Structure 1
């Protein structure tokens, strides 16, 4: 009898000890989850208006802080089911769906290529115009009203659990997640110091997530595909039963239909609207971002984005500038990169008139900087006593009717950046300093004549700048206008 009593006491002690030990481990895992995804949550908050505390809290709750099978195998952190509009892969598991006989059946959940895709699709899910009656009232709440959001999600039918709001609020308060509702992306990034790794570390016990590419998604009501490494526009066009020409028209950030794309490149399947349809009115420019990057991020027509901000093609915003993404035109043009204080020009050496071997003849009458060879070494150009202001370079045998599209948006996180093509002519100001070239994305209806009128130049001038032998300009290409 004493032996049985002692055994029961021992088991009870071990159980209490086990629970006490499990609690800190769970808390550590929750904190690790928050640290991994908090920057992404704040970025989405700035983009859409969904509180970062709600996104992190739901991610924690629905994925059991990233340890559930659904989050590990399908990268689905928010328990989003396939629904009628989903065309991607599905992950099937029992949840709360019943058949006609009232029997529990497996539900279809969306499969994502990454946790980042899931976080962004969660935003699109809540902002879907078809769900406006259910979730629309949430976007009228203050960003800091996480309790109102938690109650509203339950009221809108996000979860069937009656205790869903209280569980969500407890997580937010226990982990102090509401502080992220009052911080900016830039401030949080400065606090963290480095970009976090979004993918969870692999371990022998953990099943690696399924990598899925080509899953149709949408942002701003525009459908797009996330490309896999090495895919081309032609590959995607054949699978989506659309023409490569049509896709190129929708994707000015991609230079060619045969260009091998980087993994993660967005390929839009539809034309973009004139403005952002979310809650945000302005976008704060981050380091290295250009107008084309912002156009891709929000799925906004690039020409309309330039027009709304009273900017010309080729102009780029300065870091921390506010770019208007919806509504009417700005009263004052945002600060540009070119607005930065001018530095004294560095004297440049000049090239005397020479003839080079082979097919290239160079007439040099202008100041040019040292060139860099393919091996990375600088080739110094001998100085001239009489610097002048014009360079004319002609390549014999080169095609004169092809314009190389270029990325005027700086470093494009979704696509491949391309060097500016050498048109053979450098524009100069009256003072003799080199003027930065400007480019225009050729749209339907554009002609050399209309572009010449728009940019106050001549047809012959445009042809000379772009080495064109005909008056044809290809839709989707970028043509130098100044």
Structure 2
């Protein structure tokens, strides 16, 4: 789907869709809220299955688009009360709690250090096993069924207002929030170009900026943090009391301990298990997904992922193929990007044609789901029993650029330039690559098994700047 490219265009579209009765300042405030929290909502959708439209709609409704005292002073955007299990700070205000005499008393609401903590706690609240009877049926709905979710929240007792579903649905439709239910974290991050700052600028009591980055999280029982712009693995290792060697071992998707990272890259703080521990059995491959991306998304050991799918390092699954992420070995390997995966790669003589039907002809630099998010869905997990075509990529033409070695594999850190199989004396044609968003010379050098200095020399480059769309020679 095509996303709107700027807030002005979105705002004008919204006015046409039904916001004409709202004051211009109110529309602007709502748009600013959506802009600030949409990436977090999509990330939570991919992690938990809660539709981004519902997350954003509830956030808008419950927090009065971030302007309520509860949101500004307690970073509580969903009206979540303390409850008996809460051990943190409380914010007290009158709501709907009564004492034994039937008199209105102040209710205790949870206080969060950061807004993103509240967004994640909202997910945990709905997924709490103790509330399974109330909210469990919601997770059986399609994530695009925002109407069913809105009605189900009211039925489960999330709000006492009988008009709650209608208000929530109106916000979703007025602001076209349902489009975020069909977009991946990768696609949205690529559109935005940077991570948002989750701060409340209108709150003098909360002046410290709050970023998505740097906060320990976990997936598949593996701890990770999201890197800040220009952090390195060494920086993170020192703060997390890890050795550079250990953190490099945990993060084969990152090319070096001293390489400045792009904001949004997942950095794992411990080793990954051999399989996914969630319900999904397969990952359905979308355009651009690599095995390293799938490994990062599900926090599954890359070597075990290859073994489970009867693949060797360097082989990449074709679009729409199913990659098995848990359980025993697959009965057969998924359809691959090339029908000759075991042959040595041959050099490209020209820049890959990006418009060609064989999408794998473009050398794709492995990125993390948060970096381009190159895969966080593109990354759509497939549950057991889900039917999907596994052979749509099988009719791809042979890809001369298919790589039979993993550029990030420690067992193959360097490789000599490939020569023509017919003659050891064949002179290789120059090989070129067109830079894409997020590329660095370090990443390109790693991909093509060369050095930064070598690339700079071939292209007469004085610095390390990389501009997307530029064609450079790599061999």
**SS of match in other structure, 1:110:** coil
- For 1:219, the equivalent position in structure 2 comes to 219
Q: Would you say 1:412 and 2:368 are equivalent positions?
A: yes
- For 1:210, the equivalent position in structure 2 comes to 209
Conservation of the 8 A alpha-carbon contact between 1:82 and 1:110: no
Distance 2:69 2:183 in 1: 32
**SS of match in other structure, 2:29:** helix
**SS of match in other structure, 1:300:** coil
- For 1:136, the equivalent position in structure 2 comes to 136
Larger radius of gyration: 1
Alignment of 1:74-89 (within 5 A): 77-79=77-79
Distance 1:109 1:319, change over 3 A: farther
The alignment's C-alpha RMSD in Å is: 5.4
Give CA deviations for 1:111-158 in whole Å, capped at 9, x if unaligned. 33x75x765665455445565454332111233433332243345454
Conservation of the 8 A alpha-carbon contact between 1:49 and 1:280: no
Offset, 1:52: 3.2
Offset, 1:223: 3.7
Distance 1:224 1:347 in 2: 40
Aligned residues: 346
- For 2:291, the equivalent position in structure 1 comes to 291
Give TM-score, length-normalised by structure 1: 0.52
Alignment of 1:27-426 (within 5 A): 27-34=27-34, 38=38, 41=41, 45=45, 48-68=48-68, 77-79=77-79, 92-95=90-93, 104=106, 107-112=109-114, 115=116, 122-123=122-123, 126-127=126-127, 132-156=132-156, 158-159=158-159, 164-178=164-178, 181=181, 183-185=182-184, 194-195=191-192, 199=196, 205=202, 210-211=209-210, 214-227=214-227, 229=231, 232-238=235-241, 250-253=250-253, 264-269=264-269, 271-273=271-273, 274-275=275-276, 277=278, 281-285=282-286, 287=288, 289-317=289-317, 323-326=323-326, 330=330, 333-338=333-338, 345=347, 410-412=366-368, 423=414, 425=416
**SS of match in other structure, 2:210:** coil
Offset, 1:61: 1.6
Alignment of 1:471-482 (within 5 A): none
Conservation of the 8 A alpha-carbon contact between 2:45 and 2:51: yes
**SS of match in other structure, 1:232:** helix
Offset, 1:323: 3.9
Structure 1 unaligned blocks of 5 or more: 1-19, 349-407, 435-482
Conservation of the 8 A alpha-carbon contact between 1:291 and 1:317: yes
**SS of match in other structure, 2:56:** helix
Offset, 1:275: 1.5
Distance 1:204 1:432 in 2: 66
- For 1:26, the equivalent position in structure 2 comes to 26
Give TM-score, length-normalised by structure 2: 0.53
Distance 1:326 1:298 in 2: 10
Give CA deviations for 1:145-196 in whole Å, capped at 9, x if unaligned. 3333224334545456665444323323444444654x4549986xx99337
- For 1:391, the equivalent position in structure 2 comes to none
Distance 1:142 1:64 in 2: 27
Offset, 1:282: 2.6
Distance 1:296 1:424, change over 3 A: closer
Conservation of the 8 A alpha-carbon contact between 1:237 and 1:247: no
Distance 1:121 1:340 in 2: 47
Distance 2:134 2:168 in 1: 18
Distance 1:152 1:413 in 2: 31
Offset, 1:58: 1.5
Give CA deviations for 1:32-65 in whole Å, capped at 9, x if unaligned. 5446655664565456432333122112223322
Distance 2:196 2:422 in 1: 53
Distance 2:281 2:272 in 1: 17
Offset, 1:210: 3.0
- For 2:471, the equivalent position in structure 1 comes to none
Q: Judge which range, 102-111 or 200-209, deviates more.
A: 200-209
Distance 1:294 1:152, change over 3 A: same
Distance 1:298 1:188 in 2: 18
Offset, 1:277: 1.2
Greater RCO (CA < 8 Å, at least 6 residues apart): 2
Distance 1:202 1:232 in 2: 24
